[in-house]
Amino acid sequence: MMQKPPRRLLVISPHLDDAVFSCGALLAAETDALVCTVFVGTPEKPMVTGWDTECGFDDAHQAMEARRAEDIAALERLGAHARHLSFLDSQYAEDGSQTMEAIADALADVIHAGHHDAV
């Protein structure tokens, strides 16, 4: 009996840790899954939000660096890989320059480039 090759799974996550919390069991059951997280950018200008301070970070750069590293480590534990897009989370996006079209285009690029069997 021929074994089916493992399927290539792509999970699209809006924020860091959403995929692990929501789809962790699925990610662990798949081989070589990819999680593309959309809002992982760091603001150009130094800034501090109430959320950063409440979580013990000095600024947005420190918070996002720690959160990206945490995401990569959690996904590695599940046997998955991270792809981080550079769009800013709403707490950091002040100028409205991020458009739905830009986000959709970036996600389409990830989907088409990966030859995934399931999204």
Average of per-residue pLDDT across 27-49: 92
How high does pLDDT run on average in the chain? 90
Write down the pLDDT at residue 38: 97
Question: Which of 30-34, 50-54, 64-68, 114-118 shows the lowest mean pLDDT across its residues?
Answer: 114-118
Q: Which amino acid is at 42?
A: T
> Which domains does the chain carry?
10-113 (3.40.50.10320)
Write down the pLDDT at residue 31: 84
Write down the pLDDT at residue 1: 58
Write down the pLDDT at residue 6: 59
Check: CB of residue 119 under 8 Å from CB of residue 39: no
Sign of CA dihedral 38, 54, 67, 30: negative
Average of per-residue pLDDT across 103-117: 91
Determine the Cα–Cα distance for residues 109 and 56; give it in Å rounded to an integer: 35
Q: Is the pLDDT of residue 94 over 80?
A: no
Residue recorded with tokens 């809006």: 14
Determine the Cα–Cα distance for residues 96 and 115; give it in Å rounded to an integer: 32
Q: Is the pLDDT of residue 103 over 60?
A: yes
Q: What element of type H or E holds 81?
A: strand 81-84
